[in-house]
Amino acid sequence: MGRFILRRLLQGIPTLFGVTLISFALWRFSPGDPVSRLVFGAQNVTAEEIAALRHFYGLDQSLPEQYLSWLGRIAHLDFGQSFLYHRPVTDMIMSALPNTLQLALVSLTIALVIGIPLGVIAARSRGSFIDQVVRVFGVAGHAIPSFWFGYLFILVFAVQFGLFPVGGMLTIGKSELDVADRLRHLVGPAIALSLAGIANYSRLMRTETLDILGQDFIRAAQAKGLRPRTVLYVHALRNALLPIITALGGLLAVLVSGSLVIEQVFAWPGMGRMIYEAAVSKDYPIVMAAVFISGFLLVISYIARDIAYGVADPRVRR
């Protein structure tokens, strides 16, 4: 097992290196330059100032030099300074990441806690009314865009009935420790963000559970005279959870990058908005840091997933 993990980790390094190189190249060869965007429309800017700015941002170096110096800084975990915000990128991430994680973990929990049982219940009573409802929701949850749900939530629950705030994490002037106020702000974005997850996991669980319930080993278990509950929750469920683990595999990276749409609609100060704004403004240090971090987490989470597979199914370890 130890060697298996080590081998996986070593394989991750070139992958990560490749991701940064490709995204660096993609960004730099796409049209649009951060400095000309910055100064465009500002009247009376001098050519000397533009040259000084390019130097200030390190854009006057050749591309290989820029990439190498970026790599060199990454080795010291220094992501550089944002062009736009004049702040260290690390500080900006440390300010946005906890907000994104808070929202992501809450909505993931909602999605799993509701989605998995829904799928199992639907499978157990296949063809029933409950099954129909779960199946319709499975389609609708995917088809309804989360921003649309977000707007609907805001219009109905915030504007019309005044039950929840329109956006933000905390009412201006309230204490950071006001848990009730924080929860009120969390409801809308957390539900909006978990919708697709609920739909996804319930659908997946339903299909898998049905599939497994039809297999020989389940019939054998039933023939042994095990109680139906034991068959379902001990034997079927453990196997049916495998694809959920697969689905969760890439999730860590997604969680950390945040949800642009939900953060945008609910004014949530997270990673998604920060990365989007940086991408639009060609703020390379932030974009590259985001690519690096989500690339790193993606690699790590795939490794973790492989290990989890190894635990669930010993054949994988070979």
How many residues are there in the chain?
A: 318
Q: Select from 109, 111, 299, 123 the least CA-distant residue to 210.
A: 123
Helix axes 146-153, 179-213, angle to 10 degrees: 140
- Answer yes or no: are the C-beta atoms of 289 and 89 closer than 8 Å: yes
Q: In angstroms, what is the minimal distance from the CB of 192 to other proteins?
A: 12
Cβ neighbours, 10 Å, residue 107? 24
Q: How far apart are CA 50 and CA 106, in angstroms?
A: 45
Q: How far apart are CA 285 and CA 279, in angstroms?
A: 10
Tell me the two tokens of residue 77: 């975990």
Q: Is residue 85 involved in binding other proteins (CB under 8 A)?
A: yes
Q: How far apart are CA 151 and CA 238, in angstroms?
A: 38
Tell me the two tokens of residue 293: 């971090």
Among 27, 67, 147, 309, binds other proteins (CB under 8 A): 147
Nearer to other proteins, 254 or 279 (CB): 279
Q: Is residue 266 involved in binding other proteins (CB under 8 A)?
A: yes
Cβ neighbours, 10 Å, residue 289? 24
Q: In angstroms, what is the minimal distance from the CB of 148 to other proteins?
A: 6
DSSP 317: G
Nearer to other proteins, 36 or 125 (CB): 36
Q: Is residue 264 involved in binding other proteins (CB under 8 A)?
A: yes
Q: Is residue 274 involved in binding other proteins (CB under 8 A)?
A: yes
**What DSSP assignment string belongs to 215-227?**
SHHHHHHHHTT--
Q: Which stretch binds other proteins (CB under 8 A): 66-74, 103-111, 121-129, 155-163?
A: 155-163
Interacting residues with other proteins between 9 and 28 (CB under 8 A) = none
How far, in Å, are 89, 193, 282 from residue 255 at the CA level?
19, 11, 23
Nearer to other proteins, 150 or 295 (CB): 150
Q: Is residue 33 involved in binding other proteins (CB under 8 A)?
A: yes
- In degrees rounded to 5, what are phi and psi of residue 81? -120, 140
Q: Is residue 159 involved in binding other proteins (CB under 8 A)?
A: yes
Q: Is residue 66 involved in binding other proteins (CB under 8 A)?
A: no
How far, in Å, are 38, 124, 161, 261 from residue 156 at the CA level?
39, 35, 6, 19
Nearer to other proteins, 62 or 160 (CB): 160
Q: In angstroms, what is the minimal distance from the CB of 62 to other proteins?
A: 18
Q: Is residue 110 involved in binding other proteins (CB under 8 A)?
A: no
Q: In angstroms, what is the minimal distance from the CB of 221 to other proteins?
A: 50
Among 20, 81, 209, 239, binds other proteins (CB under 8 A): 81
Q: Is residue 183 involved in binding other proteins (CB under 8 A)?
A: no
Q: Is residue 173 involved in binding other proteins (CB under 8 A)?
A: yes
Which residues of this chain interact with other proteins, rule CB under 8 A? 30-34, 36-49, 52-53, 55-56, 81, 84-87, 92, 95-96, 147-148, 151-152, 154-156, 158-160, 162, 165-169, 172-173, 264-267, 269-270, 273-274, 277, 280-282
